[in-house]
Amino acid sequence: MEEKLDEKKEKKGLGNLKLFQKLKSIKHIEIIIAVILGAIVLLIYFSTFNTSSSETSFEATSTTEYAAMLESKLENVIKQISGVGNVSVMVTLSSGPEYIYATSEEEKINENQGSGSTTTSTTITKEPVIISGDIVVVKEIMPTVSGIVVVAGGAQDTRVKLEIIKAIQALLDVPQANIEVLVGK
């Protein structure tokens, strides 16, 4: 019984040895293996990350999300200014976002002849492009910032206050009259 097991192990070992020798005889096997492994990695990468981006090709941003994102980014920048302690930022927006939709145009020219004269009228109709039940949005224009209030520790120092105002003006192009910097606790 043990002899049969030993024979099977030897045959299996010889089979693996022959397979290994065949693989070894192929030129540039390392390159082929590297390409196959690279393809597998790319397949895994695209199968995990591509699904989320294809589901939401366009996602409308609400005004509250936009304002919160601006507030967060401003807080992060202002915290980096020398002499500034704790920071809290509030941004107000002038309106909601504006959407520009894809449209298809159709032009019709009508000619009427009567009593010796010809009148021509042109009618242009624009209709939104709809794909899978959704109107196609070409561009989303985010609202302008109408005012900013910053409460910052260290704002009692005039230099720090001016640097905060300059940073906000550089980042958001908001007039100085619409920026208020207050001293925090």
Instruction: Count how many domains the chain has.
Output: 3
Q: Which domain holds residue 33?
A: 2-55
User: What are 23-70's pLDDT values in tens digits?
Assistant: 667 777 777 777 788 788 777 776 665 444 333 334 456 788 888 899
Q: Say yes or no: 20 and 93 in one domain.
A: no
User: What are 134-176's pLDDT values in tens digits?
Assistant: 888 888 888 888 899 999 988 899 999 999 999 999 988 889 9
The CA-atom distances, in angstroms, between 116 and each of 72, 113, 119, 121 are 71, 7, 10, 17
pLDDT above 90: percentage of residues in the chain: 22
Contact 74, 142 (CB under 8 A): no
Q: Say yes or no: 106 and 75 in one domain.
A: no
